[in-house]
Structure 1
Amino acid sequence: MHIEAADPLSTGSHEVVVDGLIQRYHVYGSGPVCLAVPGGPGVFWESLRMPAVEAFLTMVYVEPLGTGGSERLGSHPHGYTRERYTRSLIALLDRLSLPRVFLLGHSYGGFIAQHFALHHPDRLRGLVLYESAPVTGPEHMAEAAANVQAFVSRNEGHPELATVLAGLEASGSVTEDEKITAALRELLPVFFARYWDREEEFHGLRENITCTYISATDENLAPDIIDDRETLPTLAVPTLVVVGRYDVPCGPRWARELHALIPHSRLITLEDSGHLGHLEEPETFADALRSFAESTGA
């Protein structure tokens, strides 16, 4: 049973009301506060847990509206735009009574974090764009397809490769939570640099990860277009860009572009990681975040 603690930053699960809906968030660690927004959209927040970072930052893992235990819009699965998610983060910061925090966005969460930083830079001490990109659409899909082919080449002959590729194909067409969760579990090795070399280590994640289907449209079924290339050069927030060398959906090309677009940003490449470097190289990942946080005066 969920019990709301008096302190909104105490360890454990909490709730905040956003647009009349309950959004859950989860607090672990100590030190300066960092909001963490998971990807997908719709992937369960717990896959983003990063205990090595919790040693020096208070991590507030957001469970976005429409996902997991947070409530859904009446227009579900539509309407979860970056503007709405940004508004929900503002409500969370107000609930926590925090004027400025670090914000980390992973994958699709990075798109949200970019949008937040561009519209509310005064609320941030620093921004971490983790496996993100400045744009979605045909360019992004073509690059991901090329990265999939590289993954296939590296793992040619593996007996499970066909199953992984079937899950990847299914993920683009299914719209039910159970089916998209099943597809995510099948394709999960794509998100790692060397999944089968470390299968025992990551098997639990593959068995337990869940996903809610969230569309890429607003309430009126209009696409929520993402292309921040013109505005990112105006970003004045200290920014760290983190990418895995073998990331498929948001690979090094996009990290280099983000780094080039954002003034004075830092770029860290995790050399033995795919899309989940906080799990594949946790200490290297944590060291990069610690150095970045310290550089901002935290």
Structure 2
Amino acid sequence: MGSVFRREITVGYEDEGSGEPLVLVHGHPFNRSMWRPQTEYFSRAGRRVIAPDLRGYGDSTMPPGTTAAPGASATPDATPLATFARDLVDLLDHLGIERCALGGLSMGGQIVMECYRLFPERISALLLADTFAAAETPDGKTARYDMAERLLREGMADYAHEVLDKMVSPDTITARPDVAAHVLEMMATTPPEGAAAALRGRAERPDYTELLPRITVPTLIVVGTEDTYTPVSDALHLHERIPDSRLTIIEQAAHMPNLEQPHTFNAALHEFLNSLPKAAETTAASTSAATAPQG
């Protein structure tokens, strides 16, 4: 675990293992602990795994002036996806990583697409999990802005309980209450200011549909069969438009298959990473967590 002060914020992150870098970007409203099964598995499987907290989530802070004093209302600016993307590249620079396999889930997947739009030379492969490429609809924009106001006004707890059975499947809630509890805790403890700023930024995100056919790195797309936020049809849309992409559909999982069915998720990602041509792998493999500068 480490932290670094970059561009007026402190970024918390995990940096485990050594070998080819794999960077994992969490979704909303979670934190880097959502990738714990992948961090543990792939760091033992010969990868260097970096999982950061996005600004305003987990241990990462917001810029000065975007949080409210106790008892006061907070109206933080939006956090555009491009800002998240630049934070990630700043972290890669800090860690001495020139290129990496980059993956994200939900909002994290859209941040990954934004990274590819802005910094394709830094990316050797993509993982897009339970995400979609289209810009927000007018109704969707209104809903995100309204939700941002609600979270600032009421906090995260009620929202977290309301959406739990969409984030993870009913089967998961029954059979794996530890996973459901972890997801609920992540949502309930996310700072409302960070979540609200991200919602506003995501409402104004670009349309990545035209980017998809221009993706030239190996890409794995993963989705849970019971995901209602980003259903299988969204994953098929990505798969049909990204050249030579792979698609894995995971049964008995909703929006978080990496936590609900970690063995299946890890197996698919492991096979994908092992299939990458060596020419696509970053030369930063020799830069291990032990030798990288630490914050």
Superposition TM-score, scaled by structure 2 size: 0.78
- Preserved CA contact (<8 Å) 2:172 2:260: no
Quick one: which amino acid aligns to residue 182 of structure 2?
L
**CA 1:223 to 1:138, structure 2 compared with 1: closer, same or farther past 3 Å?**
closer
Indicate yes or no: 2:83 matched with 1:84: yes
- 1:199, CA displacement in angstroms? 4.7
**Cα separation, 1, equivalents of 2:139 and 2:33:** 26
Aligned twin of 1:96 = 95
Quick one: which amino acid aligns to residue 55 of structure 1?
R
Query: Within 5 A, what are the aligned runs for 1:223-262?
Result: 223-262=203-242
The runs of 4+ residues in structure 1 deviating greater than 4 Å are: 170-173
Quick one: which amino acid aligns to residue 86 of structure 2?
R
Secondary structure class of the residue paired with 1:268:
strand
- 1:74, CA displacement in angstroms? 4.1
**CA 1:59 to 1:139, structure 2 compared with 1: closer, same or farther past 3 Å?**
farther
Quick one: which amino acid aligns to residue 3 of structure 2?
E
- Preserved CA contact (<8 Å) 1:17 1:23: yes
- 1:239, CA displacement in angstroms? 0.8
**Equivalent in 208, 214, 233 of residue 196 of structure 2:** 214
Aligned twin of 1:9 = none
- 1:185, CA displacement in angstroms? 3.4
Indicate yes or no: 2:179 matched with 1:202: yes
**Cα separation, 2, equivalents of 1:32 and 1:177:** 43
Indicate yes or no: 2:111 matched with 1:112: yes
Indicate yes or no: 2:56 matched with 1:66: yes
Aligned twin of 1:152 = none
Indicate yes or no: 2:18 matched with 1:25: no
1:230-275 alpha-carbon deviations (Å, 9 max, x no partner): 1221111211111001112111111111111111111111122111
**CA 1:203 to 1:133, structure 2 compared with 1: closer, same or farther past 3 Å?**
closer
**CA 1:286 to 1:133, structure 2 compared with 1: closer, same or farther past 3 Å?**
same
Indicate yes or no: 2:13 matched with 1:14: no
Backbone CA RMSD of aligned residues: 2.6
Superposition TM-score, scaled by structure 1 size: 0.77
Secondary structure class of the residue paired with 1:175:
helix
**Cα separation, 2, equivalents of 1:184 and 1:234:** 37
Aligned twin of 2:260 = 280
Aligned twin of 1:290 = 270
1:69-105 alpha-carbon deviations (Å, 9 max, x no partner): 2121246332311111111111111111111111111
Aligned twin of 1:121 = 120
Number of positions where the alignment pairs a residue of Structure 1 with one of Structure 2: 255
Tell me which of the two structures has the higher relative contact order, counting C-alpha pairs closer than 8 angstroms and 6 or more residues apart.
Answer: 2
Query: What fraction of aligned residue pairs are identical, expressed as a percent?
Result: 25
**CA 1:126 to 1:274, structure 2 compared with 1: closer, same or farther past 3 Å?**
same
Which residues of structure 1 form unaligned runs of 5+?
Answer: 1-12, 142-169
**CA 1:140 to 1:276, structure 2 compared with 1: closer, same or farther past 3 Å?**
farther
1:193-249 alpha-carbon deviations (Å, 9 max, x no partner): 32343153434315522323233335xxx9523311112211112111110011121
Secondary structure class of the residue paired with 1:176:
helix
Indicate yes or no: 2:32 matched with 1:55: no
- Preserved CA contact (<8 Å) 1:171 1:180: no
Secondary structure class of the residue paired with 2:83:
helix
**Cα separation, 2, equivalents of 1:244 and 1:295:** 22
**Cα separation, 2, equivalents of 1:106 and 1:281:** 14
1:23-54 alpha-carbon deviations (Å, 9 max, x no partner): 111123444211111111x4222123223344
Secondary structure class of the residue paired with 1:247:
coil
